[in-house]
Amino acid sequence: MIIYYSSTGNSKHVALRLHETFKGDLIDVCSFEKPASFYLEDNETLYLVTFNCFWGISNQMETFIQKSEFCNVSKIIVIITCGGYLGGGDAFIEKLLLDKGLPKPIVYSLVMVTNYSILHNIPSLEAQKKKVIHAEKVLSKIIQGTQKPYHSNWLIRQLTPKIHAEYEKSRITSPFTVNSSCISCGLCKKKCPVHAIEMKENKPFWVLPKCDNCLCCLHHCPVEAINYGDSTGKRLRYTYESCSQRVL
């Protein structure tokens, strides 16, 4: 069983690749309005795929795992996609699963193209191509079982709660803006996993004070009308789908 959560498609791509090889149920967390119950076959592996978020995982996936029920689980493999560095993301998810009485997971880090344009530049198309090709090789090794699992060291594990606490602050929606190029297509509202966006007078309006900060709305807007604070306006947009079409 493969359960994934993805904003800009990196983790979705990983989940699809796993599914090609291992088959079984492929479950998108965004297709659930509420947490759910999952029953595994005897000796079936549970794969969890999600993106790194301030050295942890995002609120949406964390809450989904916390509140869902997982039965007959004997082995868990977690793949966390990230833009550069996982920090103590392995420790974060390990604790989440152990607290639920689930087995200790094997965790892999997979560096892909970052989507966190609030803090970082999105790489150029040439750099994206190199990253995508390298990530494919690492993913093949994960699937074949020849990739080394990721283990953060003691110091990084101590620092992780502090770094992840910054995520809570970044979840505010007040810095979102929409400019005059908006064509009122409603895609941002449709894509938002937490229903934080409503359309008012044909323009998006962030109705929740906090969201998942996944940046799905910002990166999927077809006319790049959405920004967050001052930094994203001058940066590229990114989705795995458009990147793979352009660079592969």
Ligand X SMILES: Cc1cc2nc3c(=O)[nH]c(=O)nc-3n(C[C@H](O)[C@H](O)[C@H](O)COP(=O)(O)O)c2cc1C
The CA-atom distances, in angstroms, between 1 and each of 74, 89, 106, 164, 197 are 12, 22, 15, 28, 31
Single out the residue of 213, 225, 226, 243 in contact with ligand X (rule: CB under 6 A). 213
User: Segment 200-239, which members bind ligand SF4 (CB under 6 A)?
Assistant: 204, 211-217, 221-223, 225-226
User: What is the distance between the alpha carbons of residues 217 and 219, in angstroms, rounded to a whole number?
Assistant: 6
The residues facing 45 across adjacent strands are 75
User: Could you say which of ligand SF4, ligand X, none residue 52 binds, taking C-beta under 5 to 8 angstroms by partner kind?
Assistant: ligand X
List the structure tokens of 47: 């794969």
Stretch that binds ligand X, among 35-43, 52-60, 151-159, 185-193 (CB under 6 A): 52-60
User: What is the distance between the alpha carbons of residues 188 and 79, in angstroms, rounded to a whole number?
Assistant: 27
User: Could you say which of ligand X, ligand SF4, none residue 192 binds, taking C-beta under 5 to 8 angstroms by partner kind?
Assistant: ligand SF4
Single out the residue of 53, 57, 79, 225 in contact with ligand X (rule: CB under 6 A). 53
Backbone angles phi, psi at 205, to 5 degrees: -140, 125
185 is an interface residue for ligand SF4 by CB under 6 A: yes
Give the residue ranges of DSSP H helices in 6-153.
10-22, 59-67, 89-99, 125-144
Which of 116/176 has CB closer to ligand X? 116
Contact criterion met (CB below 8 Å) for 7 and 115 = yes
Stretch that binds ligand SF4, among 71-79, 103-111, 127-135, 194-202 (CB under 6 A): 194-202
Q: Contact positions toward ligand SF4, by CB under 6 A? A: 178, 182-188, 191-194, 196-197, 204, 211-217, 221-223, 225-226
